[in-house]
Amino acid sequence: MILRKLIKDMDVQRMGGNLDIEISGIAYDSRKVKEGDLFVAMKGEKFNGHDFINDAIKKGAVAIVYEHDISDFGFRPELDSGSDFNSTIRNQQSTISFISVRDSRKALAYISNNFYGKPSDKLTVIGITGTNGKTTTTYLIKSILESWGKEVGLIGTINYLIKNRVYVAPHTTPEALEFHGLLSEMLSSNCSHVVTEVSSHALSQKRVDYANFNVAVFTNLTREHLDFHITMENYFDAKKRLFEELLSDDGAAVINLDNSYGKILYEIISRKSQRVTDKSESRITHHASRTLTYGLEKGADVVAVNIKNSSDGLSFKIEFKGESYDIESSLMGVPNVYNILSAVGTAIALNVPWDVIRDGIKRMGHVTGRFEKVDIGQDFLAIVDYAHTEDALERLILTANEIKKQQSSREAEKHYTYNASRIIHRASRRIITVFGCGGDRDRGKRPRMGDIATRLSDYVVITSDNPRSEDPLEIIKEIEYGVSRRNYLIMPDRKEAIEKAVEMADAGDIVLVAGKGHEDYQEIEDVRHIFRDRDVLEEAIKSRFKNSDT
């Protein structure tokens, strides 16, 4: 694509060089630059792309987009009285086009969208944001849309899917270049719909800017990522961008009204819609007229009632506009009721028929690492879950307590007439939780998670998660500051901790292994080692079988 066309109408501070050159590709990592590429220099978490402008030129970059004064990085082009660089750029720089922008990240999103032909304009794009529930919600929506006969692409934490093709997901939401590239590939593969998780990092770093979102979903907001956002207000402001800046003119917002930040978001949208607006604000007004709320409390548009939760799954009714609809799912726990409600709200916004909605929900199996059962014939329930925030851990253990209570009640009713001693045994089912906290992340949640785990579990094995560059024992010490009971054991080796939990489990107990979910590695001293909770849990159960046979 011609450079002039690529940057047409972009917010440019100044530019110089030949704008009619052909751009064959885009890169923001100098190591990936190829001959004829445009290189976007931007600051990353560890490196500043402006330091590598010369490297990009040596590798064949013909245009440079930059955010800072490049004289600070070894380039000293003279400027004339206008906005362009003049012809005195020396040596190889005389053949390079330079474009100065206020925000390199926003420029990358703009250029990427143009380079790939604005693919989101030809797709129905659904974005899900929130602290917890994004991944399961994307899979639920995907299942509903596929039941409707649609070809669907998915971008999320576990992997990226283009119909049935699976790609590794290095980030929940990829950088702008990859994001728009994925949308383009999905369009080329005849996908009509794309469901994507939209992380707060992605929103802060403008990775999804210039994408056309048709539906935006807000699941919840609880403490997380404060190492990056610093305050909850900043965190919320990042999430809010999806609804205030990136939702299309005829888009719909789907909001969890039971969450305090969901209420705030809904009120913000409602206040703007009630204001007498001029043409510049008509977009926000239209959004508000397309807002659907959901929850367990009366007052939401889509409400779940008569919830029945067991180790076999969920059943409940959804009330919407005076009608009632039966829902069945193999997913477990109240958190998944919310995930189902958010998917249903999205489907309603897209005019999906109710029989299709119910079929899509019923057909969807488990999501890897999300309340995932590990069952190889043992007499206790074993669960792997990604819960790595205080809210997610609390919801996980509360869900296990619900299942424990219902199973104990059923067993008591079944055996009451002839086996009182068994009633006592069944009623004493235990929840054994294995968890740790990640290193180089928000330290404030560690004692809170220690409190939640020891208060809500019968027994806890505190271990390592991904300590990264931190000392695992120091992380565990901070978790210990918050414990509410002395019902825990410390085992820093995660494999040994899982094995210990399995060894402790009696018939009817529930073993929860929390924190890593789908991850297939453990990061220690900044080195990733192969490690998968499910595999370790399965091996521990098998070893227990072998020991019991000898």
CA distance 509 to 382: 8
Q: Compute the radius of gyration of the chain from its Cα atoms.
A: 26
What pLDDT, in 10s, does the model give residues 425-478? 444 589 999 999 999 988 999 999 999 999 999 999 999 999 999 999 999 999
DSSP string, 136-183: HHHHHHHHHHHHTT--EEEESSSEEEETTEEEE-SSSS--HHHHHHHH
How does residue 286 score in pLDDT terms, banded at 50, 70 and 90?
A: very low
CA distance 22 to 389: 47
- The answer for 36, left when phi > 0, alpha when psi is -120 to 50, beta otherwise, is left
Q: Does the pLDDT at position 502 exceed 90?
A: yes
* In 314-444, alpha helices (H): 334-349, 354-363, 390-415, 420-427
Closest to 216 in 3D by CA, of 170, 179, 265: 265
Q: What is the mean predicted confidence (pLDDT) over 96-125?
A: 97
CA distance 140 to 166: 17
Q: Does the pLDDT at position 530 exceed 80?
A: yes
**pLDDT at residue 284, as a whole number:** 38
* In 254-294, alpha helices (H): 260-274, 282-288
How does residue 406 score in pLDDT terms, banded at 50, 70 and 90?
A: confident
Give the 3-state secondary structure of 86-143: CCCCCHHHHHCEEEECCCHHHHHHHHHHHHCCCHHHHCEEEEEECCCCHHHHHHHHHH
Closest to 210 in 3D by CA, of 176, 162, 184: 176
Q: Which positions ≥6 away from 405 have C-beta within 8 Å?
A: none
Pairing of strands 152-155, 37-40: unpaired
Q: Which of 17-26, 227-236, 390-399, 431-440 shows the lowest mean pLDDT across its residues?
A: 227-236
User: Domain 3-111 is classified in which CATH homologous superfamily?
Assistant: MurE/MurF, N-terminal domain (3.40.1390.10)
Out of 130-139, 273-282, 417-426, give the one with best mean pLDDT.
Answer: 130-139
**pLDDT at residue 500, as a whole number:** 98
CA distance 500 to 196: 38
Annotation: CATH topology of 372-549: Protein-Tyrosine Phosphatase; Chain A (3.90.190)
Closest to 159 in 3D by CA, of 127, 211, 195: 195
**pLDDT at residue 275, as a whole number:** 53
Annotation: CATH topology of 118-295+337-351: UDP-N-acetylmuramoyl-L-alanine:D-glutamate ligase (3.40.1190)
**pLDDT at residue 94, as a whole number:** 57
DSSP 8-state symbol, 16: E
Residue that wins the pLDDT comparison between 67 and 289: 67
**Other CB atoms within 10 A of residue 53 CB:** 22
How does residue 170 score in pLDDT terms, banded at 50, 70 and 90?
A: confident
DSSP 8-state symbol, 350: T
Domain boundaries, the chain: 3-111, 118-295+337-351, 372-549
What pLDDT, in 10s, does the model give residues 64-90? 999 976 655 555 444 333 333 333 334
